[in-house]
Amino acid sequence: MNKERLINAAMMKEKPDLVLKNANILNVFTGEILEGDIAVTDGIIVGIGEYSGKTEKDLKQKLVVPGFINAHVHVESSMVTPEVYAEEELKWGTTTIVTDPHEIANVGGLTALSEILKAAERSKINYYVMLPSCVPSTPFEHSGAVLNAEELTSLKDHPYVLGLGEMMNSVGVLNHDKTVLDKLYAFSDQVIDGHFPLGSGYELNAYVSAGIDTDHESISYKEAAEKLRAGMAVLVREGSASKNLEDIIRGVVESGIDTSHLAFCTDDKHLADIRREGTIRYNIKKSIELGLDPIKAIQIGTINAARIYGLKKTGAIACGYKADMVILDDIKEMKVSEVYKDGKSLSELGEVREINYDERLISPIHFAPLSQDAFVIPEKDTYSVIGIVENQIVTQKVEMSVEEIKSGLSDGSVRKIAVVERHHAAGFHAAAYITGYGLKHGAVASTVAHDSHNIVIIGDNDADMLKAADELKRIGGGYVIIEDGTTVGELPLPLGGLMSLKSAEEFIPELEAVIEKAYTMGVNQNIDPFITLSFMSLPVIPEIRITDCGLFDAERFELIE
């Protein structure tokens, strides 16, 4: 950065590279909308006022706001590479993301993290990484890798690393688990993300006192408010499966609570949903519709996130800040007209070039041979059943009698769910019952199975479920739908069993087709067939889950007999 050039351009001793003329400019520091020109040199805003530049564009009083910041996202959950993901985010005005790559890290460990950091360096957007704290998330599952504090610390000083990713092992925090505390100590000088669903009272106080700064798991305003009062930054989540924004923002509007420690995030969102509505732009728009002041909504989506994560000179339209800007046709509709990243329009940023990823991450599907009775569940008087909650990733623990199970299997309200270890062919697998999914007949399966990303399968018969596992191995990971032994839907995700190597134009129609096929098979229309399935194996979310080790009580933090 040539400071002399910036100073001269700011003082009009030389012409700025770009001047956006006649703009209405949102100042996120004062909450004002000001009229003026925006001058940019070397990708930095050098002045607001009256300027002439080498290149000029008349905005004709359109509103200019800072580039949006997605405060917590797992890019792998979009199921495309970071390069393709960045393109979609940019179109809707998101110029900065804070990502936790624990999905691919659970598959490929340090090799995977190295590839993600390379992607961050070449990204068109500000691509910041929180190093995954829980690989695996618990000792009650088998992942592709295990990352300790020493390994994570080796990457701590990378310029795109901001801190430690979501600490999902809240039980480990509260019980002084040494491996957990080692990580908290190692990153005590950086931001530490939290993950404490339904955390409250003394336990919440203890969790925050351990040095954890943020949380994105609040599903109600009451929960979010308690975490704010405890000193946490609350990241308001609206993704494809977890839709928490409405309840939280309604509470914010009704209470008039201060919003300076709120930011917006998506956590997990399908690429098709991103293309249709964006991410943070959508969160801002929905918040405005719920009655939140538009300026406050934009502050939550920009400068608040920058402050929470210590992103200097990001998140505002002001002198010395990155020239990451969104031009809006309408503030209430959040209609994006143009996007500038580092003072360049999207057309100036160029096309996505083909990127080759480490071969060790391609098609890593290795499971031990499964016998015909692998998914047989012994008969007993009562069963603990996973109950799906629509629009949430929390589940309910439902106790059902053997008669209720048989009746549910007959009428379709109960289905079998299984998880198969797929990293080391170690032979671990487990099966249980689930209700609320809605599949009429056949099997739906995926290698996207948070967070260890083993194979997760739902079906009404063992033959189709076994076939689904074999088909996932054949395509190198991804989604499959089986009916009477025939593959009727598939979506290959060869990069880690999590991501496609295709462009958005190729990938999105394939994604939409397999989702639609799942719905025609009778999957509950009020859930996402695959994202919902992917969370059934995540043992750090209440109340009940299944891993390759068995059915798991996420509240007692123990396997169920």
Q: pLDDT-based confidence at 392, cuts 50/70/90? A: confident
pLDDT at 433: 98
pLDDT at 391: 80
pLDDT at 241: 80
Domain membership of residue 352 (yes or no) is no
Look up the pTM and report it: 0.93
Domain membership of residue 485 (yes or no) is yes
Contact 388/415 with Cβ under 8 angstroms? no
420 and 519, same domain (yes or no) = yes
Amino acid found at 438: G
Domain membership of residue 46 (yes or no) is no
Amino acid found at 250: R
Question: What's the total number of domains in the chain?
Answer: 2
Contact 87/124 with Cβ under 8 angstroms? yes
pLDDT at 339: 98
Question: Which residue do the tokens 């939280």 mark?
Answer: 248
Peptide bond preceding 289: is omega within 30 degrees of 0, i.e. cis? Answer: no
pLDDT digit string, tens, across residues 281-295: 999 999 999 999 999
Indicate which CATH number applies to the domain containing 94.
3.20.20.140
How many beta carbons lie within 10 A of that of residue 260, not counting itself?
A: 15
Contact 28/303 with Cβ under 8 angstroms? yes
Peptide bond preceding 543: is omega within 30 degrees of 0, i.e. cis? Answer: yes
Residue 401 reports pLDDT greater than 90: yes
What secondary structure letter does DSSP report for 76? Answer: G
Domain membership of residue 554 (yes or no) is yes
Domain membership of residue 323 (yes or no) is no
Q: pLDDT-based confidence at 270, cuts 50/70/90? A: confident
269 and 372, same domain (yes or no) = no
CA distances from residue 95 to 68, 218, 301 in whole angstroms, order as listed: 6, 25, 11
Question: Which residue do the tokens 């500000």 mark?
Answer: 126
299 and 372, same domain (yes or no) = no
Structural domain boundaries enclosing 446: 362-559
pLDDT digit string, tens, across residues 13-29: 999 999 999 999 999 99
CA distances from residue 349 to 90, 124, 342, 426, 493 in whole angstroms, order as listed: 11, 7, 10, 46, 27
202 and 101, same domain (yes or no) = yes
Amino acid found at 170: S
How many beta carbons lie within 10 A of that of residue 376, not counting itself?
A: 11
Last residue of a domain, one of 280, 315, 350: 315
pLDDT digit string, tens, across residues 150-197: 999 999 999 999 999 999 999 999 999 999 999 999 999 999 999 999
Mean pLDDT of 324-351: 94
pLDDT digit string, tens, across residues 486-498: 999 999 999 999 9
Burial 76-88 (b: 16+ CB within 10 A, else e): bbbbbbbbbbbbb
pLDDT at 351: 77
Strands (E), 74-225: 94-99, 126-131, 161-167, 191-194, 214-215
286 and 368, same domain (yes or no) = no
Last residue of a domain, one of 259, 289, 315: 315
pLDDT at 329: 95
Domain membership of residue 472 (yes or no) is yes
CA-to-CA distance for 100 and 163, rounded, in angstroms?
10
The helix/strand/coil state of 146 is coil
CA-to-CA distance for 173 and 226, rounded, in angstroms?
19
Write down how long the chain is. 561
CA-to-CA distance for 395 and 397, rounded, in angstroms?
7
Mean pLDDT of 398-411: 97
Contact 45/28 with Cβ under 8 angstroms? no
The helix/strand/coil state of 149 is helix
Residue 405 reports pLDDT greater than 80: yes
pLDDT at 242: 86
CA-to-CA distance for 464 and 458, rounded, in angstroms?
9
Percent of the chain past pLDDT 70, that is, above it, reads 100
Residue 354 reports pLDDT greater than 80: no
306 and 411, same domain (yes or no) = no
Query: Residue 167: phi, psi to the nearest 5?
Result: -85, 90
Mean pLDDT estimate for the chain:
96
For residues 122, 356, 153, 165, the Cα torsion angle rounded to the nearest 10 degrees is: 80
State which H helix or E strand residue 444 sits in.
strand 443-446
Residue 373 reports pLDDT greater than 80: yes
413 and 300, same domain (yes or no) = no
pLDDT at 352: 75
Domain membership of residue 426 (yes or no) is yes
Domain membership of residue 55 (yes or no) is no
304 and 370, same domain (yes or no) = no
pLDDT digit string, tens, across residues 203-225: 999 999 999 999 999 999 999 99
Last residue of a domain, one of 284, 315, 346: 315
pLDDT digit string, tens, across residues 69-106: 999 999 999 999 999 999 999 999 999 999 999 999 99
Regarding beta strands 126-131 and 161-167, do their DSSP bridges make them parallel or antiparallel, or are they unpaired? parallel
95 and 203, same domain (yes or no) = yes
Query: Residue 531: phi, psi to the nearest 5?
Result: -65, -45
